[in-house]
């Protein structure tokens, strides 16, 4: 079998799965004027996505590959899937900068240069494109090991390294942090971050906003997962000594680490597990949503009653503070049963919103028409 392969989506032969997707969509709740459809399906636990200049959607599939999805007839459904990298470990993070595609494994970050040029000359019998190692020798713990990638406008590459545990201290300072790769060097952006799997830059202020997953085993209601803002590099956000705004850790809270703790700008709720964020900087959606932050709540495992499993919208004021938080899409959790787990949002160039789902193995597209 060729390493490089092309898959077409055959809706006739996949009647059963199509029925499941239809039921999934029927359960989803969103404001009037919005439409949710399936952009792509039969993926391998899709996570972060990015769009190329030609409209190609690149997605990190946690099942071990990076794929390019192409809607060749522009009908809102991907009809072509081309694998551009495979045999990867937890390949969740992905970013584009100046035509080069960056993607993550647990302990490495790679890039493929001029990815859309390679796609334009694609041949089913060709080898996979050459991948170039960018960052190596990162911690290889699978616990909180999956990455989120994001370039700033200058080309620095930001990524997370989660704590290798529920709650612990580690001698390796890279754990529980957000770092950036700049001019061949790793620099700390945020410390004391238990497990951020989503961050984005505000369209106007350019400040980094990130979510953090709260620790487990302190009950159903504590501590809350967080939304945070980085005002300057190197700030400390509390883990493992303090969680949310005021939860002192029972094991490590008595220790004075010598840092000033930065409180979250918004508490998201305990165990909701935020796994992806995206500022809305396009024009399709209503004006009130401009520069709002969409946050995906992947859903709980350490709670008596399931929580999360939805997408929320957070309005941010001119000072970078959270003004309000409202449900944008819900319904993946119904009567205690889970039909999907949204994992990452992405704003397309046309103004629509894509949302990956690593349980249903699909990507949804959200459009709006007044």
Tokens of 292: 């709002």
Q: Kindly report the pTM of this predicted structure.
A: 0.93
Residue in 116, 84, 56, 23 with CA at minimum distance from that of residue 360: 23
Contact 60, 104 (CB under 8 A): yes
Residue 368 β-bridge partners: 34
pLDDT digits (tens, 9 = 90+) for 137-147: 899 999 999 99
Contacts of 162 (CB under 8 A, 6+ apart): 143, 144, 145, 146, 175, 176, 194, 195, 196, 197
**How far apart are the C-alpha atoms of 271 and 249, rounded to whole Å?**
16
Residue recorded with tokens 């945070």: 228
Q: φ, ψ for residue 77 (rounded to 5)? A: -135, 130
pLDDT digits (tens, 9 = 90+) for 53-67: 999 999 999 999 999
pLDDT of residue 221: 95
Contact 314, 168 (CB under 8 A): no
Q: Edge-to-edge, what's the strand order for the sheet holding 185-191? A: 149-151, 157-161, 177-182, 185-191, 235-236
Burial class from Cβ neighbours inside 10 Å (0-12, 13-18, 19+) for residue 136 reads exposed
- Peptide linkage before 240 cis (omega within 30 of 0): yes
Contacts of 181 (CB under 8 A, 6+ apart): 109, 134, 135, 156, 157, 159
Tokens of 56: 């190609």
In 178-291, which residue ranges form alpha helices assigned H by DSSP? none
What domains are there in the chain, each with its CATH number? 6-368 (2.120.10.30)
Low-confidence ranges of the chain (pLDDT < 70): 1-23
**How far apart are the C-alpha atoms of 297 and 52, rounded to whole Å?**
26
pLDDT of residue 370: 84
**How far apart are the C-alpha atoms of 302 and 76, rounded to whole Å?**
36
**How far apart are the C-alpha atoms of 55 and 53, rounded to whole Å?**
6
C-alpha angle 108-174-266 in degrees, rounded to nearest 5: 105
Please report which helix (H) or strand (E) contains residue 23, including its range.
Answer: helix 15-27
The number of angstroms, rounded, from the C-alpha of 245 to the middle of its chain's C-alpha atoms is 24
pLDDT of residue 356: 98
């Amino acid at each position: 079998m060729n390493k490089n392969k092309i898959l077409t989506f055959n809706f006739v032969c996949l009647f059963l799965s199509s029925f499941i997707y239809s039921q999934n969509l029927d359960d989803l709740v969103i404001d009037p004027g919005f439409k949710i459809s399936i952009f792509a399906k039969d993926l391998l636990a899709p996570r972060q996505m990015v769009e190329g200049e030609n409209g190609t959607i690149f997605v990190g599939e946690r099942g071990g590959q990076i794929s390019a999805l192409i809607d060749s007839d522009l009908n809102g459904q991907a009809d072509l899937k081309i694998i551009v990298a495979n045999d990867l470990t937890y390949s969740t993070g992905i970013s584009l900068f100046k035509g080069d595609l960056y993607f993550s494994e647990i302990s490495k970050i790679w890039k493929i240069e001029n990815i859309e040029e390679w796609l334009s000359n694609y041949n089913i019998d060709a080898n996979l494109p050459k991948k170039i190692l960018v960052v190596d020798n990162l911690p290889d713990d699978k616990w909180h090991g999956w990455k989120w990638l994001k370039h700033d406008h200058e080309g620095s590459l930001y990524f997370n390294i989660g704590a290798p545990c529920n709650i612990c201290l580690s001698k390796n300072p890279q754990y529980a942090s957000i770092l950036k790769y700049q001019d061949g060097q790793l620099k700390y952006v945020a410390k004391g971050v238990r497990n951020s799997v989503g961050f984005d830059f505000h369209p106007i202020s350019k400040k980094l906003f990130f979510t953090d997953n709260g620790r487990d085993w302190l009950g159903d209601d504590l501590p809350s997962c967080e939304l945070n803002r980085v005002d300057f590099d190197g700030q400390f956000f509390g883990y493992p000594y303090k969680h949310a705004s005021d939860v002192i850790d029972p094991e490590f809270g008595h220790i004075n680490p010598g840092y000033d703790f930065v409180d979250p700008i918004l508490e998201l709720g305990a165990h909701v597990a935020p796994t992806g964020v995206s500022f809305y900087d396009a024009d399709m959606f209503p004006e009130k949503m401009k520069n709002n932050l969409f946050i995906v709540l992947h859903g709980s495992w350490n709670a008596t009653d399931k929580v999360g499993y939805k997408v929320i919208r957070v309005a941010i004021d001119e000072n970078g503070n959270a003004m309000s938080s409202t449900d944008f899409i819900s319904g993946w959790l119904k009567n205690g049963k889970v039909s999907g787990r949204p994992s990452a949002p992405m704003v397309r160039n046309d103004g629509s919103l894509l949302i990956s789902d690593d349980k249903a193995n699909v990507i949804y597209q959200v459009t709006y028409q007044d």
